[in-house]
Structure 1
């Protein structure tokens, strides 16, 4: 006797009932899968994109906003800080190195980031095609930017003021030239257009004198490096503008700070917040605060999903229990033809496991499809660090847990099938 075929035949006898059970279970599993994929991958992305950054210094405002805008490039900056003040901070003995960022423009919604080569070293970025930027108005594209925008080496483009892809406020008088494309990293850098600080300053300062000053300074100081006698980069004002000298009154958006010693974590944030016009934000602290803020909502959704799974299990139990009553005679006939009680027990258990397995697999697939749709509709590829095609180990445990739920839901009907009284059932017939 083929148990699998037999169980499948009984499932097909009540298709609407079976479909309802499968959809209920699939909905609960899909919600759990979406939350699992999103939370795990976003947490990994946050850790990956903030590695090597001990502190972010920006204009007074929300520390979380500073982190989101300067590391993850998902929010608007709180403002600009004076370059002279940033240079003064970079000379602090507790600071090993500072990496300046200058934001404000974009191309097709991709942010243009003015910085120096230390930013490439921070994320261990490699150039896949062409070279890294050297002169003002030269840019190196992130992998996703090159793929989605269609820009290639030697192409030129004009940036738009702000971060919206609306085609307004275009700096037509200043054309950027693509000189290279970075290798993909699966990080936020893939969605950035990197250039020098001088490029950002030059685009926003259209006076001929300012353009000449920046061009000459950049030419005189190309490839200048800020190393001590041992070859290590140290924190100083030269590190901020190592690819060119700034004009008087220039500003930057933020500084990515690397500590020289653990003592800096205690002293620097308080010093910056209380004795300067700048704001210090700690990436680990702010990301933990972010997760604590959204954690309540995630927990509520998870609780809702578990309730749905429990309801689905009860539905499977009720369906099997009612089905068992309707086919008591069939089971008695099977017993009279030689089927053992153990066989009938396994038959009902298998029926419940089939329904559970189909519902779980459908839920996992639906969860991945929801993640894929969300990343395509609401974010650029890789911007959130979420990949719908990635399979997590925890999904295997979801599958195992679902089968256990199906087993428990099938247990009582299976026991009743095991205890089927042949003579009594046939006599009632």
Structure 2
């Protein structure tokens, strides 16, 4: 009986191609919007939390704490300024600090940021060499997997960085880097960076200003003026979370920003827009349910004679009830499946667009746990929309209908 109901439902839907297509489209749009929002927001949040994992504090120049996090952890904003090199030694000697990883920013290569740092930064993100080796002297560079793939970097290749953190800056042709290693993909911010010793960043700008690094007096003068962009700090004890930020912020030229707090604040701000879009998607699903109800109800009125004839041929009322429910369920599930596929295609397209900017990465092949409820919701929408027409079909009065 159930098989017959679905077979009849399919034939009935095929008999009304325009109405069927419009209802499928409306259901698909609502589910696609919800799928896109769930998949994209979950991936962005997971990627963001993966990048800040293990970083308790970021120390940088005074300014916006969120800007400091975006520039030094996610590498999607300009830095707030520079801090004295002596800050690193000061924090490294503090008993509340387990590790302070230096960052020196300012240049890029074909849109990918050149980050002056130490091997600890690569280790922090579980970076592993795919080919070559890690840098061990100035002007050596190690490429993240995505950066290497996009620019076609190979071992021994020489390149010149450009001033600024975006494409189009003035090139430092007199201070070329040499590629000595390429990292395996980690799924973190490391993949889209070009890494080099901090000394490389200093040397590039010394050459640019015509400073002779072999002159001891000039080098000593430069050493006193050395600066870093930021320090990524790990706490040595829980007590540090209370006292260390306050101690750093009390110093005139430094600020301490907590990645977990600033990231949560960022997602709260973004969450308002996401919630609005989810509301729009829910409204579209409601509109799809209403459209489905109207379509099935009108179809029932048009087929009352057909249904009465089925009754006279021996079809029990339950079969007519199942027929209408099957139509609503088929429309909802097929529309949901179509919308789910469209939503993931949209995520993949957005991911490809964002990857060209080297900022954010999304994949349409990742299914998030929150998407599981979309199919049951779509099924409920279809069943609820078809329930009243199904009840009316169940109560069809054969004699009254055929006498009209």
TM-score, normalisation: structure 2: 0.94
Q: In structure 2, what is the equivalent of residue 292 of structure 1?
A: 268
Q: In structure 2, what is the equivalent of residue 163 of structure 1?
A: 165
Q: Does 1:305 align with 2:305?
A: no
Q: In structure 2, what is the equivalent of residue 9 of structure 1?
A: 11
Q: In structure 2, what is the equivalent of residue 249 of structure 1?
A: 225
Q: Per-residue displacement from partner, 1:242-272 (whole Å, max 9, x unpaired)?
A: xxxx822111110000111111111111111
Q: In structure 2, what is the equivalent of residue 335 of structure 1?
A: 311
Alpha-carbon distance in 1 for matches of 2:215, 2:351:
43
Instruction: Trace 1:53-68 onto structure 2 (pairs within 5 A).
Output: 53-68=55-70
Task: After TM superposition, give the deviation of residue 213 of structure 1 in Å.
Answer: 7.0
Task: After TM superposition, give the deviation of residue 137 of structure 1 in Å.
Answer: 0.9
Instruction: Trace 1:118-133 onto structure 2 (pairs within 5 A).
Output: 118-133=120-135
SS for the counterpart of 1:106 is: strand
Alpha-carbon distance in 2 for matches of 1:249, 1:269:
25
SS for the counterpart of 2:177 is: strand
**Alignment equivalent of 1:49, drawn from 44, 48, 51:** 51
Q: In structure 2, what is the equivalent of residue 322 of structure 1?
A: 298
Instruction: Trace 1:216-295 onto structure 2 (pairs within 5 A).
Output: 247-295=223-271
Alpha-carbon distance in 1 for matches of 2:369, 2:90:
48
Q: In structure 2, what is the equivalent of residue 172 of structure 1?
A: 173
Q: Does 1:366 align with 2:342?
A: yes
Q: Mean alpha-carbon deviation: is it higher for 6-15 or for 69-78?
A: 6-15
Q: Per-residue displacement from partner, 1:18-60 (whole Å, max 9, x unpaired)?
A: 2222222212112211211122111111211111110001111
Task: After TM superposition, give the deviation of residue 209 of structure 1 in Å.
Answer: 5.2
Q: Per-residue displacement from partner, 1:86-130 (whole Å, max 9, x unpaired)?
A: 322332221111000011111110111110011122111110111
Q: In structure 2, what is the equivalent of residue 38 of structure 1?
A: 40
Q: In structure 2, what is the equivalent of residue 95 of structure 1?
A: 97
Instruction: Trace 1:346-385 onto structure 2 (pairs within 5 A).
Output: 346-380=322-356, 383-385=359-361
Alpha-carbon distance in 2 for matches of 1:75, 1:323:
57
Task: After TM superposition, give the deviation of residue 164 of structure 1 in Å.
Answer: 1.5
Task: After TM superposition, give the deviation of residue 378 of structure 1 in Å.
Answer: 3.2
SS for the counterpart of 2:11 is: helix
TM-score, normalisation: structure 1: 0.89
- Does the CA-based 8 Å contact 2:71-2:78 persist in structure 1? yes
SS for the counterpart of 2:298 is: helix
Task: After TM superposition, give the deviation of residue 415 of structure 1 in Å.
Answer: 0.9
Task: After TM superposition, give the deviation of residue 208 of structure 1 in Å.
Answer: 6.3
Q: Does 1:344 align with 2:346?
A: no
Task: After TM superposition, give the deviation of residue 386 of structure 1 in Å.
Answer: 2.3
- Does the CA-based 8 Å contact 2:79-2:229 persist in structure 1? yes
SS for the counterpart of 2:74 is: coil
SS for the counterpart of 1:64 is: helix
Structure 1: which 4+ aligned runs deviate by more than 3 Å?
207-214, 378-383
Alpha-carbon distance in 2 for matches of 1:22, 1:409:
14
Q: Per-residue displacement from partner, 1:263-301 (whole Å, max 9, x unpaired)?
A: 111111111112241110001100111111111111111
Q: 1:197 to 1:422 in 2, by over 3 A?
A: same
Q: In structure 1, what is the equivalent of residue 72 of structure 2?
A: 70
Task: After TM superposition, give the deviation of residue 153 of structure 1 in Å.
Answer: 1.0
Q: In structure 2, what is the equivalent of residue 390 of structure 1?
A: 366
Q: Does 1:204 align with 2:205?
A: yes
Provide structure 1 residue ranges, at least 5 long, that are not aligned to the other structure. 218-245
Alpha-carbon distance in 2 for matches of 1:408, 1:376:
38
**Alignment equivalent of 2:26, drawn from 16, 24, 27:** 24
- Does the CA-based 8 Å contact 2:72-2:230 persist in structure 1? yes
Alpha-carbon distance in 2 for matches of 1:44, 1:299:
18
SS for the counterpart of 1:195 is: strand
- Superposed CA RMSD in Å reads 1.8
Alpha-carbon distance in 1 for matches of 2:345, 2:16:
28
Q: In structure 2, what is the equivalent of residue 116 of structure 1?
A: 118
Alpha-carbon distance in 2 for matches of 1:51, 1:84:
26
Q: In structure 2, what is the equivalent of residue 236 of structure 1?
A: none
Alpha-carbon distance in 2 for matches of 1:210, 1:76:
29
Alpha-carbon distance in 1 for matches of 2:358, 2:10:
42
Q: Does 1:406 align with 2:382?
A: yes
- Does the CA-based 8 Å contact 1:186-1:385 persist in structure 2? no
Alpha-carbon distance in 2 for matches of 1:132, 1:400:
51
Provide structure 2 residue ranges, at least 5 long, that are not aligned to the other structure. none
SS for the counterpart of 2:267 is: helix
SS for the counterpart of 1:387 is: coil
Alpha-carbon distance in 1 for matches of 2:15, 2:213:
80
* Count of aligned residue pairs for this structure pair: 397
- Does the CA-based 8 Å contact 1:186-1:382 persist in structure 2? no
Q: In structure 2, what is the equivalent of residue 182 of structure 1?
A: 183
